[in-house]
Structure 1
Amino acid sequence: MVEETAERLTEYLYSQVGDGLRTVVIVRDGDYAIHYLSDELRREYTNETYDEVVDTFRLESPFLSEELADSPVGERRALIDYHENACVIQFPYSASETILISVSREAGRDLIEFVEACRDIVGDRRGTAT
């Protein structure tokens, strides 16, 4: 069941990043269920703001859709979004459910350093440093 998976994921994430864990949410076609929400986000986001944030991560084509099954690069296993204030990773669970997690920039430091190094190279190639 997706709720049990979200619980196991929350426990794992908290053991790895502690207070760097911002949220764990189960996203479904027409709604979502917050499984974990940090105290910081509880203070920072209204219900409407959280709705808006979750809506930005709704997928036009589901992770496990048939049209993606035969992709030359293989199945889509996760989506990673790097934002100014957080790293957001979305994992498929079923055809209609994903588990979305958000961790602080500090918690996602290794990933961010890798992305920024790549951005520096891209910026240099374009003739503009980032």
Structure 2
Amino acid sequence: MAERAHRLAEYCRDRLGDGLRAVGFHSDGDVELAYLRDDLKEQYPADRVQQFIESSRTIHRTVDELDANMGDPQASLHMLDEGLIVQFHFPGEDVVFLAMDSGVGRNFTQFVRECLDEMTE
């Protein structure tokens, strides 16, 4: 998962520039931020960053409860006051997530497909 998160961070830094806020992953026993925008490092203390990651875990648990007849979730978008969170769901491996400024999400579907391609090539 760490490799996927780092690949996604590199891709999104090039693609989104300053619109990218954070990239990381979480699984049952592991969590890592592959990227955190410099101004956010100064703005948010470590406990606030940890709270963000726990929010992502809570969102993931909710997504996991979706009706299996619809298929496995591949990605989900969540709009919050401070921006957008995209979660990329890998069955049995948990989640790679990114946070971005809300203005970035205009062409969500195309962007998600490109991100998935970047992580699975």
Q: Which runs of 5+ in 1 are unaligned?
A: 112-130
For structure 2, list consecutive stretches of 5 or more residues without a partner in the other structure: 109-121
Residue 48 of structure 2 aligns to a residue in which SS? helix
- Specify the alignment match of 1:25 in structure 2: 24
Q: Which has the larger radius of gyration?
A: 1
State the 1:7 CA deviation.
1.8
**What SS does structure 2 have at the residue aligned with 1:16?**
helix
CA distance in 2, matches of 1:110, 1:100: 18
Match of 2:49 in 1: 50
Is the helix fraction higher in 1 or 2?
A: 2
The higher-RCO structure (CA 8 Å, 6+ apart) is 2
Asked if 2 retains the 8 angstrom alpha-carbon contact of 1:91 and 1:100, the reply is: yes
- 8 Å CA contact 1:77–1:92 kept in 2: the answer is yes
Q: Alignment partner for residue 83 of structure 2, among 82, 86, 91?
A: 86
Name the % identity: 28
Length, aligned pairs only: 106
Closer/same/farther in 2, CA of residues 4 and 73 from structure 1, 3 Å limit: same
Q: Kindly report the root-mean-square deviation, in angstroms, between the aligned alpha carbons of the 2 structures.
A: 2.2
Length-normalised TM-score, structure 2: 0.74
Task: Quote the Cα distance in structure 2 between the aligned partners of 1:72 and 1:82.
Answer: 25
